[in-house]
Amino acid sequence: MSELNDPIVRLSASTGPDSPDVWGIYEPDTGSIQYICADPATKKAVLIDVVLNFDPASFALSERSMEQVLGLVEKHDLHVEWVLDTHPHADHVMASARLKERIGAPNAIGEKVREIADLWRDYYNTPHAFDPDRDFDRLFADGDAFPIGDLKMRVMLSPGHTLGSITYICGDAAFVHDTLMQPDSGTSRADFPGGSTEDLWNSLQDILSLPKETRLFIGHDYGAEGRDTPEWEATVAAHKARNVHVRDGTDKREFIETREGRDATLSLPDRMLAALQINLRAGRLPDAEDDGAHYLKIPLNKF
């Protein structure tokens, strides 16, 4: 059930002990889903993949989505312990730095963001631009774990969409970002620099090896034929039975051919070259210049 008229918000309630409450908040401009994952007993929570709104026509930023998420936090009397991202997003700007400044919670992402930063320093020809160890309070390794109140969240490396994407798993909830789409839409693209269709296949097998009742929360939904309402939750069992790219019986070679064929038809996200230059700073803008304004450097004819 939607809790707010704008945006679409849904609660996936705890299913019992060791299971979190999960709110999904849909951001329509980019089809992104932002998450609040909370321990029902202690009201301790984390925020995952919160969006800083960006207009690709004017390059104007706003905190509309961030305020909507924080409004839900206040409404449900939650205490945010971490601001988390699953990877440096190519299709939206992350709100990590602003959330950290606003609520005082530490921010984190996967440790392979260092390698992604190395890659994009070359594309932007900015050899000293990015310092993930400065801009994030923690860079998680595969297998790291941390508490959310009485619950435990663990980190699983899930490369493919990017070389450093990570999945957060808390009880029967897994935040699988840009790996799976909904079962009727298949999987996410793997053709960005550092991406790999074979790595994505391997990551999907790890995710689909979780217990069958695990709730998988995806990073994006753009609708599907016969379905206009956004969705973002399905169980492992549902994906194994119905996912159009990776249901049971799918051959690895078949998947790679399907995924790479689809990726060859896709254009770059319209926010990508701006977003990555900000997201590799955890959502912090480049330093202001002598006129007090912030500027981005966009490569021409490299893609």
**Does residue 230 belong to any structural domain of this protein?**
no
Interatomic CA distance for residues 238 and 220, integer angstroms:
17
Q: What is the CATH number of the domain that holds 64?
A: 3.60.15.10
**Does residue 249 belong to any structural domain of this protein?**
no
**Does residue 281 belong to any structural domain of this protein?**
no
Q: In terms of residue numbers, what domain contains 25? A: 9-177+210-223
**Does residue 48 belong to any structural domain of this protein?**
yes
Q: What's the structural domain count of the chain?
A: 1
**Does residue 233 belong to any structural domain of this protein?**
no
Question: What pLDDT tens digit does each residue of the chain (303 aa) get?
Answer: 334 445 799 999 999 999 999 999 999 999 999 999 999 999 999 999 999 999 999 999 999 999 999 999 999 999 999 999 999 999 999 999 999 999 999 999 999 999 999 999 999 999 999 999 999 999 999 999 999 999 999 999 999 999 999 999 999 999 999 999 999 999 999 999 999 999 999 999 999 999 999 999 999 999 888 888 999 999 999 999 999 999 999 999 999 999 999 999 999 999 999 999 999 999 999 999 999 999 999 999 988
What phi and psi values does residue 98 have, to the nearest 5 degrees?
A: -70, -40
- The structure's pTM equals 0.96
Task: Return the closest-CA partner of residue 283 out of 53, 4, 78.
Answer: 53
**Does residue 26 belong to any structural domain of this protein?**
yes
DSSP state of 52: E
Interatomic CA distance for residues 164 and 196, integer angstroms:
11
Q: Which alpha helices (DSSP H) does the chain contain, by range? A: 64-75, 96-103, 113-124, 132-135, 197-207, 236-242, 252-263, 272-279
Q: Using an 8 Å Cβ cutoff, are 214 and 236 in contact?
A: yes
Distances (CA, A) of 112 to 54, 115, 116, 117, 140: 25, 5, 7, 9, 8
